[in-house]
Structure 1
Amino acid sequence: MINKSVKHKGVIFDLDGVITDTAEYHYLAWKKLADELNVYFDREINENLKGISRIESLEIILKKSDKFFSEEEKYYLADKKNEYYKEMIKRMTPKDLLPGVVDLIKELKDRGIKIAVASVSKNAKTVLSNLGLIETFDYIVDAEKIKNGKPDPEIFLNAAAGIDVEPKLCIGIEDSKAGIEAINRAGMVSIGVGNYETVKGADIVLKDLSDPLPILNLL
């Protein structure tokens, strides 16, 4: 239950699927790796990779293989996928921002609301730089700053600390089930965007950020 009498002071954005859609690049990079390994991989399996770490994603993919992979081999494969991904995201520009993102960020900045990014991607800063947003956010949390991936709340608690706002006064925005769970466990208001079935555990579900009124009403 949202306490509408509370005026929230911080908004924390996930990156993939909220600010921009790098999901397709992730899918294509994983698909390229899976094809090289002769392992079956499709978009349905890819849905299970959203919001979790690279190694956890690889573990899910390798379940379809009858081969044994050592920990060293797994890290090598995960890094290989990341190299494919990094090549693909070089083509990203501000045109790849999702609907409503620019206007919402401007409105939040105008109101003096602190904003942060909480992404499990090690490439978050590269993506934000390509999108022209690297200087826009007050704080950025990526995989280098946390030990535990979503649905652990660590990444959102780290972001709240980074913008110096109590978790209960923060709003988190996510497009993954694991991300929504992480926000809820952090004691924040959760905004889910995208597929309803995926983010139905959120306090508020939006198609995208083109109608930010439900968020602005909490400030």
Structure 2
Amino acid sequence: MLKAVLFDLDGVITDTAEFHFQAWKSMANSIDIDFDREFNEGLKGISRIDSLNKILKYGGVLEKYSDNQKMALANSKNAEYVELLSELKPDAIYPGIKELLDTLKMEEIKIGLTSSSKNGPRILDKLEINHYFDTVVNPALIENGKPAPDIFLSAAEELGVKPEDCIGIEDSESGITAIKDANMFAVGVGTEEVMEKAGADLIYKHTGELEFSGLLHSFKQTIS
């Protein structure tokens, strides 16, 4: 029985990827590393410190920085990102998401946020949809980030539901892998080839196609 739907944030509910790109690029440029948007795609869905390590490795200076120095770099990136978030408005919610949240509430299906972003609550507040969520998992308390299933398992525990009674919605390969490894039904939003490779159970090209009846039908077919 479907009891909860768990949402990623960036690329599913809204898109702050451009803000992340600008902030990471600014930080990287400050230490003489440059990267393009293609490289930035590999930073989606992973934690802040993991993203930083990928950038430092890309620049060939991973061993140059101590843990304290890495933390300072990550904090500088986040400070710029938070400043950019001031531009975020409720109309930045992706098509179909508000309607889906409304229906889930009406159907008494629990709703969770399973984002790697520590700024999740701030973003939900800026979008004026924080009241929909029964839990927002704090990624700082999760031992292993995506593609590990930890954040999804934590959400299920916080909501008091079994993993097999949950749907997870993601737009990244690492996110879909995490959902599947948590023994949940995985809905992928994005490129069909990428989502299929990751093992998504149901694929949509964009959020405007998301509809509760379709999700429920596919979920029931899979578990029956």
TM-score category by the smaller chain?
over 0.9
- Match of 2:214, as an amino acid? P
1:39 is aligned to 2:39:
no
1:136 is aligned to 2:142:
no
- Alignment partner, residue 214 of structure 2: 214
Structure 1 residue runs of 5 or longer lacking an equivalent are 1-6
- Alignment partner, residue 68 of structure 2: 72
The within-5 A match list for 1:70-219 is 70-200=66-196, 201-211=199-209, 212=211, 213-217=213-217, 218=219
The within-5 A match list for 1:17-32 is 17-32=11-26
- Match of 2:44, as an amino acid? K
- Match of 1:22, as an amino acid? T
Specify which of 53, 57, 82 is matched with residue 51 of structure 2. Answer: 57
- Match of 1:178, as an amino acid? S
Counterpart secondary structure, 1:191: strand
Contact 1:150 1:182 in 2 (8 A): yes
Alignment RMSD: 1.3
Identify the range of structure 1 (139-148 vs 153-162) with the bigger mean alpha-carbon deviation: 139-148
Contact 2:92 2:127 in 1 (8 A): yes
Contact 2:2 2:216 in 1 (8 A): no
Identify the range of structure 1 (63-72 vs 23-32) with the bigger mean alpha-carbon deviation: 63-72
Q: What is the TM-score of this pair, normalised by structure 1?
A: 0.93
> Distance between the aligned counterparts of 1:16 and 1:145, measured in 2?
19
- Match of 1:18, as an amino acid? V
Counterpart secondary structure, 2:132: coil
Contact 2:88 2:126 in 1 (8 A): yes
Identify the range of structure 1 (198-207 vs 91-100) with the bigger mean alpha-carbon deviation: 198-207
1:9-50 Cα deviation digits (max 9, x unpaired): 110001111011011111111111112222121111111111
Contact 2:3 2:161 in 1 (8 A): yes
Contact 1:13 1:173 in 2 (8 A): yes
**Which of the two has greater helix per residue?**
2
1:42-71 Cα deviation digits (max 9, x unpaired): 111111111111111011111232442122
Cα deviation, residue 161, structure 1? 1.2
- Match of 1:209, as an amino acid? T
> Distance between the aligned counterparts of 2:140 and 2:67, measured in 1?
20
> Distance between the aligned counterparts of 2:163 and 2:48, measured in 1?
26
Q: What is the TM-score of this pair, normalised by structure 2?
A: 0.91
> Distance between the aligned counterparts of 1:124 and 1:79, measured in 2?
16
Contact 1:175 1:198 in 2 (8 A): no
